[in-house]
């Protein structure tokens, strides 16, 4: 590859640009030649260390040998990550070029900058051969559609202004130039480059978009730190991608303030987590926790797998109430009552001293958590009593048993604050009506090894935990929340509470809320709540352009759902990318039970999608039972389709035919999408139906097929 001997006859433009690519490629090859032998040597050292561990007999010697082993292993992991980044850069080292003439330059000599995922610096001159896409000057590439006068960027030394003489975009793969686009002001060529990239996308794990970040997306990605950001984005607008690129940008720009290993991404399900798992590593970011809310919450509470969601039927009205701002207020009242009762029942004759000091500390130091505040108050009360006894010369009978008494008080506290039991007692209080009490107590139960709770009860318990134990222990440097339209206000509140300095970005789409009850009716309540919790003003952005799917699919969906969208909702606007018309297949009876000849119609249609170049084909169903039936039918035709048929229960995003309930497909995308069994019995005219169908149809990258009676 480094020789470039296989290059065909070059155009004038390619001849102009290949010297830069050759220089960069050779540098990358040289770096790999240096790193790989180092990796091989470390692997040898690791094998030797294993032998040493097996030979040692003393515990101390084994411990020392294991310590060395872990050190070598850590070094290997770091080196492998670096090699992977070098390989990424070797394949496509840069994607853009700008020519910038600064006004403050003495020579007025233009700066020629190539922009890529990772920087490459000349060892001798220290001048960038490639500029990192996150660098301040790279903002000129993203903010301007083409050459422009009097543009500026904010550098570490201050604002710099000048003229942008050229914006050039490259398609590079395997260190070969596949396309060159000179952007013109007005965005025509920029759109040409974007469309070329979009047309080449195939259903696979989510990829980075550093080469095609649009101006509005860039604005969100580069929003300043230490304040919340909320994104309302239509289907296919790039919400998830923006979240991940924003995180990569923040780690680069504010590396002293936030760390990847103490940051958190909240995602809707395990398949989604797998779907996005390649983006951050490809941008050079590792070790970010990506969890569903349930896993994060159980982690905060310290719960194991024996804490299990109750199988009892749910009441959507009560479920919505438990996720509401009103219920947060109930919990605040309940906590106040609990705190007062706890203090009043302290087993100590001089508890007034403790209570008085506790309340003083609460007022003076509100960020101190309840256990620490109580501990300090107890120490103070005993010290004060000790001082009085010494001053008067009296013998205090409590003095000799001071340590044991303190232990008794603190033991009393720990017994009183079991979160699960404390929450159960809420439903025996007078703060709630009998309907909610009876409904909730049934599910909050213990049977054998398992402790049951309703899913909607998890967030309130986390909220109480935060009230008692404070927010510092689970505090995160940065938190990203995706698909936020389907989580409750109280879930958002518990996450916002542990976002350090208001470092929180939330993304969602009100039209894609598909998990009843629909908690969030508008974003204003979320804005008000987050502002109150973080004491910061949230920055709100609205994305309307859909980059995922074609004009034909968006127009089809908009024609159906225009009147069904939430009030004031802005309809998606497709990027000018055309494709096949939406196809409709009529099958007389429900597919899962229809005759084999009708099944063959669909099987042949699916096969045709792969012949057209698809690598993922999603068969989207109304719910899990529907998906199970579909999967059981289609898996028998895997050989005929010549692709794997994958069940929705899989946690990995795989190629082939994926049979999923629409709910599980949220946030994902596929080359071709089948929305199955559209009939009144399965899809009645309800708000949930319309939302589900909208989500299902907008998963398609290239082709959408509607299957109905």
Written as one string, the DSSP assignment of 253-273 is HTTTT--GGGEEEE-S-HHHH
Q: Structure tokens of 108?
A: 């007025």
| Helix (H) or strand (E) run with residue 172 in it | strand 158-173
Q: Is the pLDDT of residue 401 over 80?
A: no
Nearest to 603 by CA among 614, 616, 593, 591: 591
Rounded Cα–Cα distance for residues 257 and 245 (Å): 17
The SS3 assignment for 295 reads helix
Report the percentage of the chain scoring pLDDT > 70: 95
Q: How far apart are CA 241 and CA 412, in angstroms?
A: 49
Please state, in angstroms and rounded to a whole number, the distance separating the CA atoms of residues 131 and 121.
8
The mean-pLDDT minimum among 104-113, 410-419, 589-598, 623-632 falls in 589-598
| Predicted confidence band of residue 429 (pLDDT cuts 50, 70, 90) | very high
| Contact between residue 208 and residue 245 where contact means Cβ atoms under 8 Å apart | yes
pLDDT tens digits along 562-613: 888 777 788 899 887 899 999 999 887 677 777 788 888 999 999 999 999 9
Q: Is the pTM of this model over 0.85?
A: yes
**In this structure, are strands 111-116 and 120-121 parallel, antiparallel, or unpaired?**
unpaired
d(CA 492, CA 526): 8
Q: What is the pLDDT of residue 140?
A: 96
DSSP helix/strand/coil, 125: coil
Token reading at 636: 């028998």
Q: What is the pLDDT of residue 108?
A: 83
Output 65 or 161, whichever has higher pLDDT: 161
Q: What is the 3-state secondary structure (H, E, C) of 192-223?
A: HHHHHHHHHCCCCCCCCCCCCCCHHHHHHHCC
Confidence of residue 420 (pLDDT cuts 50, 70, 90): very high
Rounded Cα gap, residues 259 and 242, in angstroms: 19
* pLDDT tens, residue by residue, 62-120: 888 889 999 999 899 889 888 988 888 888 999 999 999 999 888 888 999 999 999 99
Mean per-residue pLDDT, 677-706: 93
Question: Distances in Å between the alpha carbon of 326 and those of 329, 432, 460, 471?
Answer: 5, 12, 12, 21
CA angle 669, 670, 671 (to 5 degrees): 135
Share above pLDDT 90 across residues of the chain, in percent, rounded to a whole number = 64
**What are the helix (H) ranges across 580-623?**
596-611
pLDDT for the residue numbered 568: 76
Q: What is the pLDDT of residues 522-540, one digit of tens each?
A: 999 999 999 999 999 999 9
* pLDDT of residue 190 exceeding 50: no
What pLDDT is stored for residue 7 in this prediction? 86
d(CA 30, CA 356): 70
For residue 400, the model assigns a pLDDT of 57
What is the average pLDDT value for the chain, to the nearest integer? 90
State residue 319's pLDDT score.
Answer: 96
| Residue 472 confidence (pLDDT) above 70 | no
Q: What is the pLDDT of residues 546-565, one digit of tens each?
A: 999 999 999 999 988 888 87
Mean pLDDT for the stretch of residues 620-645: 93
Q: Is 177 helix (H, G, I), strand (E, B) or coil?
A: strand
| Confidence at 189, pLDDT banded by 50, 70, 90 | very low
For 141-150, 368-377, 379-388, 546-555, which range has the lowest pLDDT when averaged over its residues? Answer: 379-388
pLDDT digits (tens, 9 = 90+) for 636-650: 999 999 999 998 887
Other residues' Cβ atoms within 10 Å of the Cβ of residue 700: 30
pLDDT recorded at residue 533: 95
Tokens of 344: 């009043």
Kindly report, residue by residue over 446-461, the tens digit of the pLDDT.
Answer: 998 999 999 999 999 9
Angle between helices 325-344 and 489-497 (to 10 degrees): 60
Please list the residues that pair with 672 across neighbouring strands. Answer: 617, 703
Task: Report which of 94, 93, 68, 78 is spatially closest to residue 35, judged by C-alpha positions.
Answer: 78
What number is the average pLDDT over the span 429-442? 93
Question: Cα-Cα-Cα-Cα dihedral of 220, 224, 227, 232, to 10°?
Answer: 0
Count CB atoms within 10 A of the CB of residue 645: 21
Task: List beta partners, residue 98.
Answer: 113, 167
Decide if pLDDT at 379 tops 50: yes
In the predicted structure, residue 187 carries a pLDDT above the cut 60: no
Average pLDDT over residues 386-406: 62
Please determine, for residue 394, whether its predicted confidence score (pLDDT) is greater than 60: no
pLDDT at 644: 93
Model confidence at 188: pLDDT above 60: no
Whether 138 contacts 115, CB under 8 Å: yes
Quick one: pLDDT at residue 233? 95
């Amino acid at each position: 590859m480094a020789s470039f001997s296989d290059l065909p006859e070059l155009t004038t433009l390619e001849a102009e640009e290949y010297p830069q690519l050759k220089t960069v490629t050779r540098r990358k090859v040289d770096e790999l030649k240096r790193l790989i032998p180092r990796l091989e040597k470390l692997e040898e050292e690791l094998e030797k260390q294993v032998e040493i561990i097996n030979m040692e007999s003393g515990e101390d010697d084994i411990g020392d040998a294991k310590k060395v082993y872990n050190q070598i292993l850590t070094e290997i992991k770091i080196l492998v990550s670096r090699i992977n980044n070098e390989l990424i850069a070797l394949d496509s080292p840069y994607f853009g070029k700008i020519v910038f003439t600064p006004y403050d330059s003495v020579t007025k000599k233009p700066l020629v900058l190539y922009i890529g995922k990772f920087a490459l610096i000349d060892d001798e001159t220290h001048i960038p051969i490639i500029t990192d896409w996150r660098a301040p000057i790279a903002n000129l590439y993203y903010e301007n559609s083409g050459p422009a006068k009097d543009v500026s960027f904010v550098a570490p030394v201050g604002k710099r202004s000048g003229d942008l003489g050229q914006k050039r975009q490259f398609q590079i793969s395997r260190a070969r130039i596949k396309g060159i686009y000179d952007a013109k002001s007005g965005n025509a060529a920029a759109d040409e480059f974007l469309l070329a990239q979009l047309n080449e996308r195939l259903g696979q794990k989510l990829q980075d978009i550093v080469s095609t970040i649009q101006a509005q997306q860039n604005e969100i990605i580069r929003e300043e730190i230490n304040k919340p950001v909320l994104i309302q984005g239509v289907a296919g607008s790039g919400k998830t991608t923006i979240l991940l690129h924003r995180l990569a940008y923040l780690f680069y720009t504010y590396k002293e303030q936030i760390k990847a290993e103490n940051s958190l991404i909240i995602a809707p399900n395990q398949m989604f987590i797998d779907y996005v798992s390649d983006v951050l590593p490809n941008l050079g970011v590792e070790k970010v926790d990506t969890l569903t809310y349930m896993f994060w919450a159980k982690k905060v509470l310290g719960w194991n797998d024996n804490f299990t969601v109750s199988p009892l039927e749910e009441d959507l009205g009560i479920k919505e109430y438990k996720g509401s701002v009103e219920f947060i207020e109930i919990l605040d009242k309940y906590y106040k009552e609990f705190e007062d009762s706890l203090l009043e029942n302290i087993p100590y004759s001089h508890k007034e001293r403790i209570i008085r000091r506790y309340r003083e500390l609460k007022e003076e130091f509100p960020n101190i958590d309840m256990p620490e505040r109580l501990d300090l108050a107890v120490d103070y009360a005993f010290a004060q009593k000790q001082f009085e006894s010494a001053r008067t010369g009296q013998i205090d009978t409590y003095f000799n048993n001071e340590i044991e008494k303190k232990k008794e008080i603190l033991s009393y506290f720990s017994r009183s604050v079991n979160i699960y039991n404390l929450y159960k007692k809420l439903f025996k209080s007078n703060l709630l009506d009998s309907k909610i009490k009876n409904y909730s107590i049934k599910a909050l139960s213990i049977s054998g090894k398992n402790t049951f709770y309703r899913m909607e009860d998890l967030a309130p318990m986390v909220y109480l935990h935060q009230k008692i134990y404070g927010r510092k222990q689970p505090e995160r440097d940065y938190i990203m929340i995706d698909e936020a339209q389907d989580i409750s206000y109280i879930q958002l509140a518990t996450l916002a509470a542990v976002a350090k300095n208001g470092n929180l970005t939330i993304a969602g789409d009100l039209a894609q809320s598909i998990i009843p009850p629909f908690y969030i009716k508008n974003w204003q309540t979320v804005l008000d709540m987050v502002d109150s919790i973080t004491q910061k003003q949230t920055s709100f952005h609205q994305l309307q352009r859909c980059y995922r799917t074609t004009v034909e699919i968006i127009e089809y969906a908009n024609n159906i759902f225009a009147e069904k969208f939430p009030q004031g909702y802005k309809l998606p606007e497709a990027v000018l990318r055309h494709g096949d018309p939406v196809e409709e297949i009529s099958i007389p009876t429900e597919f899962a039970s229809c005759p084999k000849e009708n099944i063959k119609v669909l099987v042949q249609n699916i096969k045709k999608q792969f012949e057209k170049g698809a690598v993922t084909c999603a068969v989207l169903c109304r719910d899990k039972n529907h998906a199970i039936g579909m999967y059981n039918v289609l898996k028998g035709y895997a050989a005929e389709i010549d692709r794997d048929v994958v069940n929705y229960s899989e946690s990995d995003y795989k190629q082939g035919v994926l049979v999923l309930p629409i709910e599980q497909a949220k946030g994902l995308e596929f080359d071709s999408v089948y929305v199955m069994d559209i009939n009144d019995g399965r899809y009645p005219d309800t708000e949930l139906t319309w939302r589900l169908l909208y989500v299902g149809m907008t998963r398609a990258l290239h082709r959408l097929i509607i299957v109905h009676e």
